[in-house]
Amino acid sequence: MKFGLDRLHYIPVGGIHVHYLLWLKKALAVIQSLPDRIDFAHHLTYGSLQFGSPLYKLECPFIFGPVGGGQRTNTIFYPLMSVKARIFERIRNGVSSLFYRTNPFFKGTIRNASLIYCTNEETRAVVRRHLDPRRHGKIKMMLDTSLDARFLTDHVVRSGADPIVRSEAGEVVRLRSGEVVRSGGVPRCEILWVGRLLPRKGVEILLNTVKYMKGENFHLTMVGDGPLRGKALSFIKENGLEGQVSFTGYVDHRKILEYYRAADLLLFLSYRDSTGLQIMEAFSQGVPVISFDQFGASLLINEEVGVKIPLEDDLNCLQARIADSIRDLIHDPERTKTMGRKAMDYARRFSWEYRMETILQDSKPFLINVKPFIHANADLRLERV
């Protein structure tokens, strides 16, 4: 872009929004310059409702989504967050509200999209507020991510094989049909957390939970890195949790399967997340999940494969409910194993093929006369955008 505007996307608040809107305008200009008539369009990314899409100007059937963006961090978590993080959340909420009122791409998309996929109920509620009730039928629910073949084709670990995995510290972990047994012969519940160490990922409430349950028969492995790394490590040391919490830092995605396979339980405690790919990944490896009952997790998790924790008005009560949910599974390993087996079967519906088939079926009513065609220079044209 001219005048160095490409650098705007490095500014997390405001800059990235302006950069993306400018990119959308440029993308539309490139599409409109194509010599071929556009019969159908599908806007996939960014997956944020408030940005909308300029594709409605093509005057052809088009799908928008799956998109999130309607989710907001519940204020019950604010006491756990830094002042900077709380300010960021308030600015984000303000920018979203402003875009809903003033962004022509959002208004045009809501009015003209043939189909709008929302990733969570909170986002669907926003769409419904801005759409004529007579047209609510074009809103459908769809998660915004799926699993690749690595997670759906290799189920050796929990199907009876007896491989050995070695932790970062060199400790031998032996997996037998989903049960974790230490080389010393003492079973304990292996809990996993995966994600970037960002304020909205729930790092604070995760570590507070471990402190609350200090000394109980479990071990937590935290996989990931980010701005809150120093704070997390300091908390672990100050509260004497070194023996109960392992911190791996960044792990290459090709190795992440080893950590899921060594786990009995995944904690997904994000304050704000559209869906949560980690939940799908855990399910695919036979690992049940504990999460808050909000956003995409509400759609992904049912009582057969995990635990959804309703948000309380009191933070202490919420903290206690998380701990109680973990204890229930620690003290009932058979239930945990049963949930894990069901989770593995359940995960098979999260393939990209399943997702594409759903989109094709939903699109049939307005694609009857459209013939599939991919422009020979499609990749080059996208690169020039």
* DSSP string for 226-240: STTHHHHHHHHHHTT
H or E element at residue 245? strand 245-249
pLDDT, position 120: 92
Averaged pLDDT for residues 84-107: 91
Averaged pLDDT for residues 349-374: 79
Same-domain pairing of 200 and 98: no
Same-domain pairing of 72 and 216: no
Same-domain pairing of 127 and 174: no
In a 3-state reduction of DSSP, which class is residue 42?
A: strand
**More confident site: 137 or 369:** 137
**CA gap 260, 157 in Å, rounded:** 10
Nearest-CA neighbor of 212 among 248, 189, 244? 244
Same-domain pairing of 157 and 284: yes
Averaged pLDDT for residues 281-286: 92
Q: Which amino acid is at 147?
A: L
- Domain with 27, as residue range(s), is 2-146+351-384
**Pairing mode of beta strands 265-268, 289-292:** parallel
pLDDT, position 351: 85
Name the pLDDT band for 150 (thresholds 50, 70, 90): confident
Averaged pLDDT for residues 2-31: 71
pLDDT(131) > 60: yes
Same-domain pairing of 321 and 370: no
pLDDT, position 161: 35
**Pairing mode of beta strands 172-176, 164-166:** antiparallel
Same-domain pairing of 282 and 338: yes
**More confident site: 367 or 27:** 27
pLDDT(94) > 70: yes
pLDDT, position 160: 37
Read off the pLDDT of residues 180-236 as tens digits, 9 standing for 90 and up: 444 344 468 899 999 999 988 999 999 999 998 888 889 999 999 999 999 999 999
**Cross-strand pairs, 245:** 220
pLDDT(308) > 90: yes
pLDDT(324) > 50: yes
In a 3-state reduction of DSSP, which class is residue 296?
A: helix
In a 3-state reduction of DSSP, which class is residue 130?
A: coil
Locus of tokens 């300010």: 87
Same-domain pairing of 72 and 199: no
Averaged pLDDT for residues 105-126: 94
As for how many domains the chain has, the answer is 2
pLDDT(162) > 60: no
pLDDT(105) > 80: yes
pLDDT, position 11: 58
Read off the pLDDT of residues 259-274 as tens digits, 9 standing for 90 and up: 999 999 999 999 998 8
Read off the pLDDT of residues 326-350 as tens digits, 9 standing for 90 and up: 999 998 889 999 999 999 989 888 8
Same-domain pairing of 198 and 341: yes
Same-domain pairing of 35 and 127: yes
**More confident site: 310 or 39:** 310
Residues 6+ apart with CB under 8 A from 370: 39, 40, 61
**CA gap 307, 47 in Å, rounded:** 27
Same-domain pairing of 10 and 79: yes
Same-domain pairing of 92 and 207: no
pLDDT(179) > 50: no
pLDDT, position 165: 41
Name the pLDDT band for 146 (thresholds 50, 70, 90): confident
Q: What are phi and psi of 304, to 5 degrees?
A: -85, -20
Same-domain pairing of 201 and 306: yes
**More confident site: 275 or 117:** 117
In the 8-state DSSP scheme, what is residue 80?
G
Locus of tokens 């396979």: 261
Rounded mean pLDDT of the chain? Answer: 82
What DSSP line would sit under 156-202, residue for residue? -GGGT---EEE-TT--EEEEETTEEEETTS-B-EEEEEES---GGGT
Percent of the chain with pLDDT over 70: 83
pLDDT, position 252: 86
H or E element at residue 40? none
Assign residue 269 the CATH number of its domain: 3.40.50.2000
